[in-house]
Amino acid sequence: MQSGEDERITTPWEDVGLSRSEYHRVCEDLDRRPNPLELGLYGLMWSEHCSYKSSRRHLEQLPTEAPYVLQGPGENAGVIDLGEGLALAFRIESHNHPSAIEPVQGAATGVGGILRDIFTVGARPIALLDSLRFGDPGDPRTRYLFEGVVSGISFYGNCVGVPTVGGEIYFDEAYRENPLVNVMCLGLAPKDRLVRGRASGAGNPVFIVGARTGRDGIHGASLLASREFDEETESMRPAVQVGDPFREKLLIEACMQLTGSDAVVGVNDLGAAGLTSAASETASRAGMGMEIDVTRVPLREEGMTPYEVMLSESQERMLVIAHRGREGEVEDIFDRWELEAARIGEVTSDGQLRILEDGTEVASIPALSLTEGAPAYDRPMRSPAPDPGFHAGEIPEPQDLNRVLLQMLSHPNLCSRREVYEQYDHMVGINTAMNPGADAAVLRVRGSGQGIAVAVDGNGMLCHLDPRRGAMNVVAESYRNLSAVGARPLAVTNCLNFASPEKPEVMYRFAEVVAGMGEACQALGTPVTGGNVSFYNETGGREIYPTPVIGMVGLLEDVSRCVPPGFAADGDAVLLLGGGTGSLGGSQYLNIVAGKVAGPVPTVDFAAERVAGKACRVGIARGWIRSAHDVSDGGLAVALAEAACLSPSQLGAKIELQAGERADEILFGEGGPRYLVSAAPESLEALLERSRELGCPLDVIGEVGGSFLRVATGQRRIDIPVADLVEAREGGLQ
pLDDT band at 236 (very low <50, low <70, confident <90, very high): very low
Tell me the helix, strand and coil percentages in the chain, rounded to 5: 40, 25, 35
Of all residues in the chain, what percent carry a pLDDT higher than 90?
84
Of 511, 510, 471, 506, whose CA–CA distance to 492 is shortest? 471
If asked whether residues 301 and 394 sit together in one domain, one would say no
Q: Is residue 391 flagged as an active site residue?
A: no
If asked whether residues 201 and 340 sit together in one domain, one would say yes
612-631 tens-digit pLDDT: 999 999 999 999 999 999 99
327-380 tens-digit pLDDT: 999 999 999 999 999 999 999 999 999 999 999 999 999 999 999 999 999 999
Q: What is the pLDDT of residue 237?
A: 46
* Residue in 24, 58, 95, 219 annotated catalytic: 95
**Mean pLDDT computed over every residue of the chain:** 92
Q: Is 269 left (phi over 0), alpha (psi -120 to 50) or beta?
A: beta
| Start-end of H helices in 226-366 | 245-259, 274-285, 306-311, 327-336
If asked whether residues 614 and 655 sit together in one domain, one would say yes
Strand order in the sheet with 488-497: 432-434, 441-444, 451-458, 547-556, 488-497, 528-534
Beta-strand pair 86-94/180-190: antiparallel
If asked whether residues 313 and 346 sit together in one domain, one would say yes
- φ, ψ for residue 632 (rounded to 5)? -135, -120
* Domain that includes residue 650, residue range: 388-425+564-734
If asked whether residues 352 and 421 sit together in one domain, one would say no
pLDDT at position 1 over 50: no
If asked whether residues 587 and 620 sit together in one domain, one would say yes
543-594 tens-digit pLDDT: 999 999 999 999 999 999 999 999 999 999 999 999 778 899 999 999 999 9
Residue type for position 261: S
Q: Is 701 left (phi over 0), alpha (psi -120 to 50) or beta?
A: alpha
28-68 tens-digit pLDDT: 999 999 999 999 999 999 999 899 999 999 999 999 999 99
pLDDT at position 535 over 90: yes
Q: Let me know if residue 436 belongs to a domain.
A: no
Q: What is the pLDDT of residue 4?
A: 38
Of 620, 613, 604, 599, whose CA–CA distance to 678 is shortest? 620
Residue range 452-480: average pLDDT? 97
Number of compact structural domains in the chain:
2
If asked whether residues 270 and 408 sit together in one domain, one would say no
If asked whether residues 271 and 404 sit together in one domain, one would say no
Q: Let me know if residue 125 belongs to a domain.
A: no
If asked whether residues 205 and 352 sit together in one domain, one would say yes
pLDDT band at 220 (very low <50, low <70, confident <90, very high): low
Q: Let me know if residue 653 belongs to a domain.
A: yes
If asked whether residues 257 and 396 sit together in one domain, one would say no
Q: What is the pLDDT of residue 17?
A: 84
Among the residue ranges 149-158, 233-242, 703-712, the one predicted with the least confidence is 233-242
Residue range 148-168: average pLDDT? 93
Asked if residues 116 and 124 have their Cβ atoms less than 8 Å apart, the reply is no
Residue range 88-116: average pLDDT? 94
pLDDT at position 512 over 70: yes
Q: What is the pLDDT of residue 540?
A: 82
pLDDT at position 16 over 90: no
If asked whether residues 282 and 415 sit together in one domain, one would say no
Name, in order, each residue with C-beta under 8 angstroms of 532's C-beta and a sequence gap of 6 or more: 91, 92, 93, 94, 182, 494, 495, 496
Q: Let me know if residue 590 belongs to a domain.
A: yes
Q: What is the pLDDT of residue 429?
A: 61
If asked whether residues 236 and 361 sit together in one domain, one would say yes
471-492 tens-digit pLDDT: 999 999 999 999 999 999 999 9
Q: Is residue 219 flagged as an active site residue?
A: no
| CATH number of the domain enclosing 404 | 3.90.650.10
Of 304, 277, 155, 294, whose CA–CA distance to 216 is shortest? 304
Of 107, 134, 360, whose CA–CA distance to 245 is shortest? 107
pLDDT at position 22 over 70: yes
Q: Residue 690: how many CB atoms within 10 A of its CB? A: 17
